[in-house]
Chain A
Amino acid sequence: MIYRENGQFKSTYRADLQMLPMLQDRVFMAAFVAFAFLAVPFFASNYLFLSLLIPFLILTLAAIGLNLLVGYCGQISIGHAAFMAVGAYAAYNLVLRVPWLNFLVVLVLAGFIAAAAGMLFGIPSLRIKGLYLAVATLAAQFFTDWLFARVKWFTDYAHSGSVSPAPVELFGWRVDTPVEKYLFLLGVLVVFTLLAKNLTRGHLGRAWMATRDMDVAAEVIGIRPIYAKLTAFGVSAFYCGVAGALWGFVHLGSWEPLAFNLTLSLNLLFMIIIGGMGSILGAYYGAAFIVVLPILLNQVPQWLGVPLSTATASHLEFMIFGALIVLFLILEPHGLARLWAIGKEKLRLWPFPH
């Protein structure tokens, strides 16, 4: 009843092509973004910012990046934390060696360096597909693990291999407090989400999706696979590179190569599988599921006043978390984003379903 496009007429092609064609969606989205920017900083605690929201925002960015590759272009990668590592160490070295650069420039440059690495490791995708490609992308993971742990130049000869850059500064604004970090990251994420959404709606996204759905057919209609696949790897690694730089600079503040290990790669992949492949929104749901849920589960017994030992609570967390993953995949193999879409379709018919 409330969620209908009745009476909303589109008289131009532009209006027909906009990202959110329904007025209700636009209002909801605008209100939501305003809420995230204006209201959240006032009521959220530091704990909420530092432990939940900040990791959530950064990993969402990385998940969007991976989703562009896996969900939109159909090329599986289980080594994407490698590109986050490339981004993080690139940013660290840029800040260290070219100190006068603005951090936003550093971020973009780090993204481009990661994109170059991504395209390099994407080359095997031109010859191999599916699970074989997945195994090939593992090489990226192991290579960067080795590179940043062994080649001392990248870590500025730190004796324990751990690097700790100075806090982020933008035009004299020191991004220091949890609220500032949150706002900065939120701004970055909004920009990159818009970019990703529009990329997928444009010719590049269509080329990716055509390649995903059937590469031979895509080639027949004139999409060059080398172009589609390598751009997907490049853009995806760019997103992950930026996310990696933010993860190191804003979230961790000091990190070692272990921070970008295989577990993170797998977590990124789980995020998009659970959130929904081929959906920008899915990256948000997936990141929320993987980042926030374990931490909440860990604390539930305490909130409810159930006296459990730390070890038991921790084991319970693993068990429930695992069970929930299985449950969601059985209930909706297309991910949480699909559940959301179903809900929206139902809402259109509400209250008179037929």
Chain B
Amino acid sequence: MTFNRRSGLACALLAAAASALVSEPAFAQAKEQFFPVLVYRTGPYAPNGVPFANGYVDYLKLVNARDGGINGIRVSFEECETGYATDRGVECYERLKGKGPTGATAFHPLSTGITFAVTDKSFNDKIPIITGGYGRADSVDGTVFGWNFPLGGTYWDAADILVQHVGKKEGGLDKLKGKKIALVYHDSPYGKEPIALLQERAKMHGYDLQLLPVTHPGVEQKATWLQIRQNRPDYVFLWGWGVMNSTSIKEAIATGYPRDKMYGVWWSGAEPDVTPAGDGAKGYNALVFLAPAGQGQVHKDIVRHVYDKGQGAGKKEEIGDVLYNRGLTAAMMTVEAVKRAQVKYGKKPLTGEQVRWGLENLSIDEAAIKKLGFTGFMTPVSTSCVDHAGARTATIHTWDGKKWNLQKDVYVADQSIIKPMIRTSAEKYAQEKKLTKRDCAKESQ
């Protein structure tokens, strides 16, 4: 008896597994636009991964509940847990890329490692990889990286703006000569991305750049901060993620390094990074690309249409946190790209290739931001086939112990430095991969 039951279950499992593995999803589906969602709700990066995922998913739910989908095309989505691991991320990508009637709309890998790995696959699969504010800095160049969209800016923009900001604080970029800047970075492609630009700027302004890598996941930083204690750099740039950020701030407190001399990249400037350090985190600064913390019309809509119906992905109190808003804007830009592409291809489920056209012709101006309810935490983005970033402005925000406060100055990354670097780096990639470059002038016709 027990044997039968057991083998029955085993058979069911096997059959389920076989059907899921063997057949491509060939059955007819409703008119839906499928959004794959790569998340990490477990592991050392979960404190930062969860709010982003919640924001992303909540916005998709809002689009269905409030607008009845994107121009009548309902949004369907599925989450896949990557744990911030590259191999599992690639597995998730493969798992989700073919789902839905037209395949995946676009991926947000939320990990530079996964971005590097799936970039390679995007050329064959023809699915956009959106890396808003992260990913490869050289992927701004749409002629080489046809499928990558670092919407809103890259790490080179971020590093550039941080240098501009500390230059301004010193009273001019030329005053940086002889100053010491330490970069405390996550020892992975993510953390290494800004180095090239910081070195370039160091050559121009003559500051001394110290590179201090921290191994994954970043809970052990005693040696790093000992070096900071010895060298006493004038500024510390923090390029961490997950538990590494809060550890850095705690170590800064322990070594007595002033928090107001610390600048995080925009992935090192959210609530989970500063709250574990308590009051000591006061004065810590971080970069903001698109979305600072706060609430707007869209949050009210989310509360009304999603949370009041018990459909929310997270807790109501966490709506409006920095990373939540970032997930929200990421979803919004993707949905807007679909809307844009629908103008050209018609109101039907679109393929990744069609969505790419939308992403390349995205134009979210102030009026659109207002209409979408994102006023106050979104900068205008306007992309083209050549420029896949669409914006590179940022501000700095400071933690006052309770909340993040935006500083007034708005910075634009200096393209005269970054553009040549992008060109060289993208050329090199194209050469290594033996890629043929796209001709944007031809495609726009």
Which A residues fall within an 8 A CB radius of B? 43-48, 50-52, 55, 96, 149, 159-162, 164-167, 176, 252-256, 258-259, 295-296, 298-300, 303-304, 309-311, 313-315, 318
Contact (Cβ within 8 A) A256 B113? yes
Q: Which of A46, A96, A167, A252 contacts B117 (CB 8 A)?
A: A252
Asked whether B87 is an interface residue with its Cβ less than 8 Å from the other chain, the reply is yes
Contact (Cβ within 8 A) B12 A311? no
Q: Mark B27-46, 1 if CB is under 8 A from A, else 0.
A: 00000000000010110001
Contact (Cβ within 8 A) A300 B13? yes
Contact (Cβ within 8 A) A46 B98? yes
Closest chain B residue to A161 by CB distance? B192
Q: A254-B120, A303-B16 given as contacts; is B22 within 8 A of A164 (CB)?
A: no
Q: Which of B23, B81, B117 contacts A298 (CB 8 A)?
A: B81
Contact (Cβ within 8 A) B39 A258? no
Contact (Cβ within 8 A) A50 B94? yes
In this complex, which of A44, A55, A258, A315 has the most chain B Cβ atoms within 10 angstroms of its Cβ? A258
Q: Which of B42, B46, B425 contacts A159 (CB 8 A)?
A: B425
Asked whether B344 is an interface residue with its Cβ less than 8 Å from the other chain, the reply is no
The minimal Cβ–Cβ distance linking A84 to chain B, given in whole angstroms, is 13
A46 vs B19: C-alpha distance when bound (angstroms)? 14
Contact (Cβ within 8 A) A48 B187? no
Q: Is the interface of B mostly helix, strand, loop or mixed?
A: helix
B112-136 interface with A by 8 A CB criterion: 112-113, 116-117, 119-121, 124, 136
Q: A45-B22, A303-B17, A311-B81 given as contacts; is B434 within 8 A of A166 (CB)?
A: yes
Contact (Cβ within 8 A) B136 A165? no
Contact (Cβ within 8 A) A176 B192? no
Contact (Cβ within 8 A) B80 A310? yes
Starting from the known contacts A256-B113, A258-B188, 6 additional A-B residue pairs (CB-CB under 8 Å) come to A48-B21, A51-B91, A51-B95, A160-B112, A164-B433, A253-B120
What 8 A-B pairs come out closest when comparing CB atoms? A303-B16, A311-B41, A253-B120, A159-B196, A160-B189, A314-B81, A310-B79, A51-B91
A253 vs B432: C-alpha distance when bound (angstroms)? 12
Contact (Cβ within 8 A) A253 B81? no
Residue total for B at the interface (Cβ-Cβ under 8 A): 52
A296 vs B18: C-alpha distance when bound (angstroms)? 11
In this complex, which of A43, A159, A253, A304 has the most chain B Cβ atoms within 10 angstroms of its Cβ? A159
Contact (Cβ within 8 A) A315 B42? yes
- Chain A residues with CB below 8 A from B80, complex form: 310
Contact (Cβ within 8 A) B13 A254? no
Contact (Cβ within 8 A) B16 A45? no
Contact (Cβ within 8 A) B41 A310? yes
The minimal Cβ–Cβ distance linking A95 to chain B, given in whole angstroms, is 9
- Chain A residues with CB below 8 A from B433, complex form: 164-167
A48 vs B24: C-alpha distance when bound (angstroms)? 10
- Chain B residues with CB below 8 A from A300, complex form: 13, 16-17
Q: A160-B193, A161-B192 given as contacts; is B83 within 8 A of A44 (CB)?
A: no
Contact (Cβ within 8 A) B432 A166? yes
Contact (Cβ within 8 A) B41 A303? no
- Chain A residues with CB below 8 A from B189, complex form: 160-162, 256
Asked whether B20 is an interface residue with its Cβ less than 8 Å from the other chain, the reply is yes
Could you name 25 residue pairs across A and B whose Cβ atoms are closer than 8 Å?
Answer: A47-B95, A48-B22, A55-B87, A149-B187, A159-B192, A160-B116, A160-B136, A160-B189, A160-B193, A161-B192, A165-B433, A166-B432, A252-B117, A254-B117, A254-B119, A258-B188, A296-B17, A299-B20, A299-B95, A300-B17, A304-B13, A309-B41, A310-B41, A311-B41, A315-B42
Contact (Cβ within 8 A) A164 B120? yes
A311 vs B41: C-alpha distance when bound (angstroms)? 5
Contact (Cβ within 8 A) A313 B24? no
Closest chain B residue to A145 by CB distance? B215
Q: Mark B57-75, 1 if CB is under 8 A from A, else 0.
A: 0000000000000000000
The minimal Cβ–Cβ distance linking B438 to chain A, given in whole angstroms, is 18
Asked whether B429 is an interface residue with its Cβ less than 8 Å from the other chain, the reply is yes
Closest chain A residue to B85 by CB distance? A263
- Chain A residues with CB below 8 A from B16, complex form: 300, 303-304
Q: Which of B24, B41, B91 contacts A314 (CB 8 A)?
A: B41
Contact (Cβ within 8 A) A258 B117? no
- Chain A residues with CB below 8 A from B190, complex form: 160
A160 vs B112: C-alpha distance when bound (angstroms)? 10
A314 vs B90: C-alpha distance when bound (angstroms)? 16
A256 vs B189: C-alpha distance when bound (angstroms)? 7
The minimal Cβ–Cβ distance linking A317 to chain B, given in whole angstroms, is 8
A295 vs B91: C-alpha distance when bound (angstroms)? 8
- Chain A residues with CB below 8 A from B382, complex form: none
Q: Which of B24, B121, B213 contacts A253 (CB 8 A)?
A: B121
Asked whether B222 is an interface residue with its Cβ less than 8 Å from the other chain, the reply is no
Asked whether B173 is an interface residue with its Cβ less than 8 Å from the other chain, the reply is no
Closest chain A residue to B50 by CB distance? A311
Closest chain B residue to A92 by CB distance? B432
Contact (Cβ within 8 A) B117 A310? no
